[in-house]
Structure 1
Amino acid sequence: MTTGSCLCGAVRFTVTGPLRPVIACHCGQCRKSSGHHVAATSAHRDHIAVTGVLKWFQSSDTARRGFCGTCGSNLFWDGPGENLSIFAGSLDGATGLQIAGHIFCADKGDYYELPKDVPQAEGYDPALTTRVVD
């Protein structure tokens, strides 16, 4: 089981299933919502239990972002499919996860470089974003 929370602790969650390796998203929306790129894992939505009150922002026609209404911590990205993305920084303690790739690299900021030894996609890449490790 994996646990996580927002900065103030008003929203907490547990994940009882496997987590996908972390994918870094460099799209404009992730950069604007976080102040940098987003590093997120994901799990099957049926394996995630949330306590506390999440606020949701509909960031596009197909996705919304979940955050704490008290402290503003970004916690989830909810789009189509069976998985819910979880911002990796919201997880408690050591996770054993590693960054397995970068998506929307065409939109990345000009103030940082990406490692050459990790897969990169110019835009969305379902092969990276839908993997879950058992």
Structure 2
Amino acid sequence: MNARPTHTGRCLCGTVRYEVRGELDPVHMCHCGQCRRQSGHITAATGTARDAFTLFDPEGAMVWYQSSDFAKRGFCGRCGSNMFWDDDGPAMSINAGSLDTPTGLRTDCHIFVDDKGDYYEIADGLPQYGTVPEQS
């Protein structure tokens, strides 16, 4: 029997940590206006099943911001690292830069390219979607 892979991650200051026991989705690059404003550019995110995710926040530094009527964004209140996107569904998104390396992940697509900034081009040859693949 194969063991489920374990991935770990943390914020910049290390106060908020997490563990994922199981597979992570490929990374997608999100160009939506909310991700750009929160991160300062685009967001590289992966996803996992909620029941595979464990958050360690012994000091209560995790802050959740309700960014829309259906989703919230999680960040460390101490160092400001933006870490998660969550719509309370069966899965959640993890900002790929918060993962400890090596991740073994690869980027598979760009989403919300209709909202991308006008100051850069996407030239990596990966699929691009105006919104998300299920809606494009």
Calculate the TM-score normalised by the size of structure 2: 0.89
1:3 matched residue in structure 2: 8
Residue 76 in 1 paired to residue 102 in 2?
Answer: no
2:3 matched residue in structure 1: none
2:27 matched residue in structure 1: 22
Which range moved further: 78-87 or 35-44?
Answer: 78-87
Match of 1:35 among 31, 37, 40: 40
RMSD over aligned Cα, in angstroms?
Answer: 1.5
3-state SS, counterpart of residue 29 of structure 2: strand
Q: Unaligned 5+ residue runs, structure 1?
A: 128-134
3-state SS, counterpart of residue 18 of structure 1: coil
Higher relative contact order (Cα pairs below 8 Å, separated by 6+ residues): 1
Distance 1:59 1:2 in 2: 26
3-state SS, counterpart of residue 126 of structure 1: coil
Distance 2:118 2:105 in 1: 26
1:97-116, Cα deviation, whole Å (9 max, x unpaired):
11100010011111211125
3-state SS, counterpart of residue 34 of structure 2: helix
1:86-129, Cα deviation, whole Å (9 max, x unpaired):
000000011111110001001111121112521110112238xx
Residue 102 in 1 paired to residue 110 in 2?
Answer: yes
Distance 1:126 1:78 in 2: 18
- Identity, in percent, stands at 54
Which one has a bigger Cα radius of gyration? 2
Offset, 1:27: 0.4
1:123 matched residue in structure 2: 131
